[in-house]
Structure 1
Amino acid sequence: MAQDGESTAREPAQGTQVIDRAIFLLRSIAQSGGSARLTDLARAADLATPTARRILKRLVDHGMAGQDPETQRYHLGMLAYELGLAASHRVDVAARLKPLMQRLAELSGDTAYLVMRQDFEVVCIDRVEGNYPIKTLTLKVGDRYPLGITAGSLALLGALPKAEADAIVEANRTAYAERGHLTVEQLRDDLEKTRQRGYALRRDAITDGSIGIGLAVPNGSAPPYAAVSLAMVLERMTESRREQLLAMIRGELAALAGNDRT
């Protein structure tokens, strides 16, 4: 029989696990296009079907999810929509930066990406393709990656206080190996170079033969939560072109900051 202290110690862990599973199920519903079967959700979450059903029922009860009475498929609920509206000041960053993204893609000819931080990860919230024939389509809108794997997310990580960034790197140790074929030691070396340069240069972390250059979007005196990057085939990133791209991105971000103040 467990002692009281042991029981108390287990309860927070069990509660955290349920929250993790619930969040994963909500993400899976969203990624499914907004309508998902119970069996598919259970499989994606590596849960027994009855366990997934119980969690989904509580999400439905609280309005975070809904279930079609005819098809029995799950969709996001009204509470999820309401919470999304409450966070819309950040989501609106995609619309606000759309002209900048289009200019970067047009001027460079390469693919421009906009990512936004979500805890220890980033989400791609916009992608604009340039006119160069060979496309580097590393991310699509909605993709999530641990902070540090992509050029934009590495720029965000480098803009954080060192202690916070180091804690994120350690927390993502397994994710780096699984999602970007990186070791923590490699990432820490990249992170230090990013701090020294003031921008991120990321090579081949997701797509072989590609390279990206990224900068965090200034956020006044607060830490940045968004970053822009350009991705291209490796041969296009000569030293002189890197300096040209860097000057172009910095110029566009400076112009954006100036417009925000007016």
Structure 2
Amino acid sequence: MPNDEAVVGSIARAARVLDVLVDMPEGAALADVVARTSFSKTTAHRVLAALQDVDYVVQDPEARTYRLGIRLGALARSAAAIDMAGIAYCGMRRLADVTGDTVFLSVPEGPSAVCVAREVGAYPIRTLTLDRGDRRPLGVGGGALALYCAMPASTRAAVNRANAAWLAEYGFDAERLERAKADFDRVGYAMNAGGVVAAMSAVGLPVVTAGGRLAAALAVGAINERMEQARLEQVILPALREETARLAARLSVREPEADT
């Protein structure tokens, strides 16, 4: 077995090769990797072959150039989700404790909303309609609907075109989602009243940073009986608005400053 120093050295060499490929997204020849890393041709080829073995790098069969693989992109998305979940954890825990219900954190990815974290409150009947990693079309569910409603009209139209068949699987369509958007504009929150699971409802708010980036959505889910209007307005929405604002502020601090 390789010793620890050899393993660390291998990781460092792989990182240097990956950095080259990041800078050359159109594809890098072996000679490019050699020139930019100062590795020998043998070392560069060995590192590239090892990265190909785990699908972090792919080689164009005709041009013989190397590019980053899809699997590496999936790891990057996973790392971003973990980071988001970590930043949101304390606020989600407070929200679950205050409401006693289930709190979901979702992020937009293309035409999808992906659940990246879930916190469960103390109420014995739990709303576990989404688990971490679950994916739904934008607009289907409290958090997914909050994300949808925070998007501009052109983006919503494109999402609806891309998701037409997927939405139909849930009994949704563009017209229904646009009605929900009109409700969102009127009341200030997204409400999924039993639209996915008949006995369960969820209310969601988008998390928008100071720079205007739609980063995520927080949603509280519960059985329908716990979503009656008085409790919604007196307990759930004040806590949800507070934690959404806190999360937006935390994410805004982490945004790069705009060029001046």
2:141 aligns to what? 150
Cα separation, 1, equivalents of 2:54 and 2:182: 44
Question: What is the TM-score of this pair, normalised by structure 1?
Answer: 0.66
Determine if the alignment matches structure 1 residue 107 to structure 2 residue 98: yes
1:63 aligns to what? 55
Instruction: Name the CA shift for 1:65/1:141 in 2 (closer, same or farther; >3 Å).
Output: farther
The offset of 1:82, in angstroms, is 6.6
> In the alignment, is the contact (CA less than 8 A) between 1:116 and 1:125 conserved in 2?
yes
Cα separation, 2, equivalents of 1:99 and 1:176: 33
Q: Deviations over 1:142-193 (max 9, x none)?
A: 1110000011011111111112112212321211111x22233222211221
Secondary structure at the aligned position of 2:208 is classed as coil
1:141 aligns to what? 132
Cα separation, 2, equivalents of 1:115 and 1:83: 17
User: AA paired with 1:115?
Assistant: S
Cα separation, 2, equivalents of 1:252 and 1:95: 14
> In the alignment, is the contact (CA less than 8 A) between 1:62 and 1:79 conserved in 2?
no
1:217 aligns to what? 207
The offset of 1:252, in angstroms, is 1.8
The offset of 1:140, in angstroms, is 0.8
Larger Rg: 2
Q: Deviations over 1:6-42 (max 9, x none)?
A: xxxxxxxxxxxxxxxxxxxxxxxxxxxxxxxxxxxxx
Instruction: Name the CA shift for 1:62/1:157 in 2 (closer, same or farther; >3 Å).
Output: same
> In the alignment, is the contact (CA less than 8 A) between 1:154 and 1:194 conserved in 2?
no
Note the residue ranges of structure 2 that are not aligned, 5 or more in a row.
1-50, 59-67, 255-260
Cα separation, 2, equivalents of 1:78 and 1:190: 38
> In the alignment, is the contact (CA less than 8 A) between 2:205 and 2:244 conserved in 1?
no
Determine if the alignment matches structure 1 residue 200 to structure 2 residue 201: no
> In the alignment, is the contact (CA less than 8 A) between 1:115 and 1:124 conserved in 2?
yes
State, as a whole percentage, how many aligned pairs show the same letter: 32
The offset of 1:78, in angstroms, is 8.3
Q: Deviations over 1:92-137 (max 9, x none)?
A: 1111001111111111000000111110001111111111111111
Cα separation, 1, equivalents of 2:75 and 2:168: 31
Cα separation, 1, equivalents of 2:99 and 2:200: 15
C-alpha RMSD of the superposition: 2.8
Determine if the alignment matches structure 1 residue 246 to structure 2 residue 241: no
User: 1:1-262 maps to which residues of 2 (within 5 A)?
Assistant: 63-64=55-56, 80-81=71-72, 84-85=75-76, 88-89=79-80, 91-178=82-169, 180-244=170-234, 245-259=236-250, 261=253
The offset of 1:207, in angstroms, is 1.3
Q: Deviations over 1:60-101 (max 9, x none)?
A: 6682499xxxxxxxxxx9872476348734541111001111
Instruction: Name the CA shift for 1:164/1:106 in 2 (closer, same or farther; >3 Å).
Output: same
Number of equivalenced pairs: 193
Secondary structure at the aligned position of 2:214 is classed as coil
